[in-house]
Amino acid sequence: MKLRTCILILLLLLPTLLQAAEQTTGAPGMTIRADVMTHDAATDLIKANGKVEMIWQDMTMTADEATFNRTNQTLVAKGNVYLVKAGDILWGDHLTMDTETGRAEMENGQIFMTQGNFRANGKQIGKTGEEEYALRNGGLTTCDAAVPSWKFGATELDLKLEEFATGKNVIFYVKDIPVFYFPYIILPVKSERQSGFLFPKFGRSTKRGEFIDIPYYWAISPSQEALIDLDVQTKRGIGLGVDYRYLRNRNSDGSIGGYLIYDNNEKKERGQLVQFHKEQFSDSFNLITSLNLTSDRTFLTDYGEKSGEYNRQYYDSRIVLTKFWDHWLTSAQTIYTQDFYSGSNTTTLQRAPELSLYGVREKVPYIPNLYFDLDLLATNYYREKGTDGQRAVMEPRLTSVNSLFSGRLNLSLFGSLQLRGYNTNKPDPGIKDDQLVAIPKAGAELSSSFSRIYDTSFLDLQRLRHELVPTLSYLYVGEKDQSNVPVFDQLDRVNAQETVTLSLASHLGGRIAKQGQGTAEYRNLQTLRLLQAYNLSGTRPNLLTLLDDSRRWSDLVLESETWMHRYLRLLADLRYSHYDHRISSTASGAELNDQRGNTARISYRMVDRQLDYLEAGATIALTNPFYLGYTTRYSFDKGDILESNYTVEYRHQCWSVIVGYQDRPNNRTWTINFNLAGLFGIGTGGTTGYRAPAP
């Protein structure tokens, strides 16, 4: 009786147990699960219904129902079909797939690719390769929203991930509003550096008129890239900018950039060439070439975009060959200078070649605490008009370094002889053809150091270290008449002097640890230096304050760097005149950077009777998704703003726009630049930053 009861219960539960456990293998390495499955032996078809799941290789497919042909390895799935591979998803209403080749067709399908956040849809989607798709009546975007901020719609769209998407009859939509039509288009769809057009930059300026920059980025190879920029201006014409960059072995690298335009205003071709190359032959032997050339003297004034470009005084082009040894350094260089402030470059001194040899301080044998070093410089100066010639400078130097009173005092003594030889061509009146100048130099420096450590509980500061370094120095430069030698640079006029200088340096450092945190950091808090000099005889050159011979006392100099916070730094360089009882020059400012995109800086520079201006700037990221930027330079001596720059950037999940405004005397410029994530700007392109210069 009990046996019959058990058999009856088992028969009643058998359908339920079978339904919950239906699983089979469609092919080697493939697993199929579903609520209900049947197998037709004649056709070798497996039919699955209800919560169908198929797993093979690195692919997973789910659907409401599916049929798998084990003979030809084909799959047909219907209803809520999802095909997932490594996070990439293809889903839709109806799927036909060859599981051996990976080729598939999906009706009313959509695609999501994690790399680049690419999203595409189509009435019909064909998977033609590992990462290749053919879409019909579909679209492409990188936006997450159901109604994307932007998308490209096309009747035909072929997509190859990490390469390109090509489309026919393409419409660019903002939301669901059609904006642009393209009969044919090629779009880069790659999250790494790649070739392709970047989004154009639009603008308007006083000098250029309306303009558009169309940049094309060319990823030539893993070690080479180029940016080509077509610059169309309504007032000046059409320009072409190129920036090519490359990497070589042994940390060798270089770049070549240029810009060329036929200027409609000047009725001539104008341009700029910029080149840099570093060839590292070995750890101790390298070659550097740097070319900076413009077609005319006012090119940067008209086309320079930043401060330091449009107001540049001169350009240097040079070729430098350098060799290092343990205690010696030698170099050979050629320097060509374009002086934009001079009336003509025919009077500008050029240097070719210039040879130098420097001996690093080395101990003299058999004599304790005595060291020898050497500076040697030979230059050939030439120019079309004016005095030129050759000059050789040699200065051997002996230095004695001593520690006194068990290291409490440090004494340094030195003596040198500067020898300058000249061979002068086309000398001015009073200048000799050949001349040898010998100037003796000597000096001494006495210094000490006092330090103390304080325990403190002020805020997060646990320990404070204070060090004072007083220094007394003496400098002697012998007197020599140099009026009969030419002036090529500052080395040709060495002022005789006897100067005593007293300085005091203060260094503050602290150990900082937040409450409840075991780790601590050591941080410099302040460096401060006071300096005062007195001339016993002769004159002391000072390019900033222009002291005359009657002023024995130098300016009192204060230099400081103070970290008020890890994000806030104060800088000061003040010079106080004892004779005028006022600050004669200063270069002071403050910098703030919270490491989260918010920065601010302000600096004030003043040199008596020469310049007086304020520079400030800020970037603000607190207004996310809006990011603001501002820089300005104001001249107090001219009573006018030299330059102001404003930028507003709006960053969306899948696009951004930057609006910029620059205000300079005689020129105002508006620019607008769009970026589409994954296609233009964001996540595309390389490291090049060259653009056709915009005034």
For the stretch 71-113, pLDDT in tens is 888 999 999 999 998 888 999 999 999 988 889 999 999 999 8
Q: What is the 3-state secondary structure (H, E, C) of 60-94?
A: EEEEEEEEEECCCCEEEEEEEEEEEECCEEEEEEE
CA distance 505 to 560: 9
Q: Where are the beta strands (DSSP E) in 621-654?
A: 626-635, 640-651
Contact (Cβ atoms closer than 8 angstroms) between residue 635 and residue 654: no
Percent of the chain with pLDDT over 70: 90
Average pLDDT for 124-135: 89
CA distance 172 to 212: 19
Please give the residue that has the higher pLDDT: either 443 or 19: 443
Contact (Cβ atoms closer than 8 angstroms) between residue 318 and residue 336: yes
Q: For the chain, what is the largest distance between any 2 Cα atoms, rounded to a whole number of angstroms?
A: 139
pLDDT at 371: 96
CA distance 601 to 588: 11
Distance of CA 172 to the CA centre of its chain: 32
Among 216-230, 263-277, 392-406, 581-595, the minimum mean pLDDT is found in 216-230
Name which of 471, 466, 448 is nearest 456 in CA terms.
466
Contact (Cβ atoms closer than 8 angstroms) between residue 203 and residue 692: no
pLDDT at 548: 53
pLDDT band for position 573 (cuts 50, 70, 90): very high
For the entire predicted model, the pTM comes to 0.74
Contacts of 429 (CB under 8 A, 6+ apart): none
In tens, the pLDDT along 279-331 reads: 999 989 999 999 999 998 888 888 887 776 777 888 899 999 999 998 899 99
Please give the residue that has the higher pLDDT: either 457 or 404: 404
In tens, the pLDDT along 528-554 reads: 999 999 998 877 655 444 445 568 899
pLDDT band for position 430 (cuts 50, 70, 90): confident
Query: Given a cut of 80, is residue 16 above it in pLDDT?
Result: no
Bridging pattern class, strands 23-24 and 434-448: unpaired
Bridging pattern class, strands 268-282 and 253-263: antiparallel
pLDDT at 458: 77
Query: Given a cut of 50, is residue 240 above it in pLDDT?
Result: yes
Query: Given a cut of 70, is residue 688 above it in pLDDT?
Result: no
Contact (Cβ atoms closer than 8 angstroms) between residue 501 and residue 473: yes
CA distance 444 to 471: 10
Residue 286: strand pairing partners: 280, 322
Q: Tell me, what DSSP letter sits at residue 192?
A: S
Residue 176, φ and ψ in degrees, nearest 5: -105, 20
SS3 37: strand
pLDDT band for position 511 (cuts 50, 70, 90): confident
227 burial level (CB within 10 Å; 0-12, 13-18, 19+): buried
Q: Which domains does the chain have, with CATH numbers?
A: 37-188 (2.60.450.10)
Average pLDDT for 419-432: 88
Query: Given a cut of 50, is residue 13 above it in pLDDT?
Result: no
Contact (Cβ atoms closer than 8 angstroms) between residue 419 and residue 394: yes
Name which of 211, 225, 224, 229 is nearest 272 in CA terms.
229
In tens, the pLDDT along 327-353 reads: 899 999 999 999 988 878 889 999 999
CA distance 363 to 573: 36
Upper half-sphere CA count for residue 59 (Cβ side, 13 Å): 20
pLDDT band for position 685 (cuts 50, 70, 90): very low
Residue 38: strand pairing partners: 47
